[in-house]
Amino acid sequence: MPTFVYLGNYTASGLEGAMRDGFESRVTAVSDGLEAHGGKLLQMGFCLGEYDFVIVADVPDRKTALIAPMVAGAAGTVSVSTIELISAIEMSEVASMAKSSDFRVAGSGGN
């Protein structure tokens, strides 16, 4: 199952709701939402700095990975950036493919 990282920020109304309901309730809601669509919450933490929270989750596919950010974003409670992680094995496979590629980079001559 692919792993996704969600980097998020609360809007004013989202932060107000999380403060009222408790941040533990957000972790439960995220976990329940992921499980309802066949996913699994691996980690959710709250941050100092550029983002308010980070979520790491295993999700069945890309479409499923976009459900929660779409619903929460449409409600106006958060903004979320979604990142799909690539495993070391997959990166090694890509590196092998790249080594045998005849792709010509700009400025290397040829057509």
Q: Is residue 105 very low, low, confident or very high in pLDDT (cuts 50, 70, 90)?
A: confident
CATH top class, domain 3-86: alpha beta
Position 111 scores a pLDDT of: 60
Q: Where are the domains of the chain?
A: 3-86
pLDDT tens digit string along 25-76? 999 999 999 999 999 999 999 999 999 999 999 999 999 999 999 999 999 9
Count Cβ neighbours within 10 Å for each residue of 29-47 and write b for 16 or more, e otherwise: ebbebbeeeebebeebeee
Query: At CB < 8 A and 24+ separation, what contacts does 64-68 make?
Result: 64/37, 64/38, 64/39, 65/2, 65/4, 65/39, 67/33, 67/37, 68/6, 68/30, 68/33, 68/34
Provide the pLDDT for residue 64.
Answer: 95
Q: What is the pLDDT of residues 2-18, one digit of tens each?
A: 999 999 999 999 999 99
